[in-house]
Amino acid sequence: MTNNNKAGSLTCIGTGITLAGQITTLSKNYLEQAESVFGILPDKLSEDWVKSLNPSYQSLQYLYAEGKSRRQTYQDMTEVVCQAVRDGKKVVLALYGHPGIFACVGHFAIERLKGEGYEAQMLPGVSADACLYADLGFDPGTTGCQAYEATQFLFSGVPLNTSAYTILWQIGLAGEHTLKTFKTTQDNLEATVRILNKWFPLDHEMILYEAPFIPVQSPRIDRFKLKDLPQMDLTSISTLVIPPLTGLKLDKSSLDEFGLDITDFG
């Protein structure tokens, strides 16, 4: 429960994926009026744009370090943001894409601050999956869509529905469990192929997708076969999209539960 007598507050906003054009009007308003702005943004161009809207902007990227656990980095970032709120400031945390998707610092800070009686909220933003659907031209409502962080999926043994699209985020970190580096290995990618081969043939089409940062860029859309994944040039923003192997099929036993028959669908 929040205590309105505490002056400090936090609003987590998303800047969208493509620079400047994908931030919402409400998020931009909070950004411009904040007394202190922190950010975790992908490049200097994005940071300069945010700073042009609010000169108080401070990047939190300095807290990353090779060999340092990202778990510790995220805790350090959370504490920097929370301390500014405790100091009585109206704080905005600006995050790339959607502030709550593959971005834990906003969640951590909101939970901590609410527990301390401060006002804290998150506003929605344009995320990478929104760009992906637009650029690849498919509707997840047509066949269904399942999405996992790549390493989480690879380690969990979760079965895949091959009649739906599969999205594996952060494929460039596939199998990386130490949280101390920002790239995967050839061995990890070969293991990824073996696991995906349980559901998809080695010649099944895969798509490597990367959303553009700036309006003049084009999205990266590389199509290749599953067996060739270890040879692909992966980056920290690469996403693996796997088209369905089969279409959705009607299930007789399920239809029976509704008193329907397959013939009812023509």
Task: Just list the catalytic residues.
Answer: 70, 74, 96
Residue type (1 letter), 260: L
Angle at the Cα of 180 (from 174 to 181), degrees rounded to 5?
55
Tell me if residue 110 falls in helix, strand or coil: helix
- Residue 191: its H or E element: helix 186-196
Residue type (1 letter), 96: Y
Half-sphere exposure (Cβ direction) of 214: Cα atoms closer than 13 Å: 8
What whole-number distance in Å separates Cα of residue 203 and Cα of residue 131? Answer: 26
Query: Do 201 and 228 meet the contact criterion of CB atoms below 8 Å apart?
Result: no
What whole-number distance in Å separates Cα of residue 21 and Cα of residue 47? Answer: 14
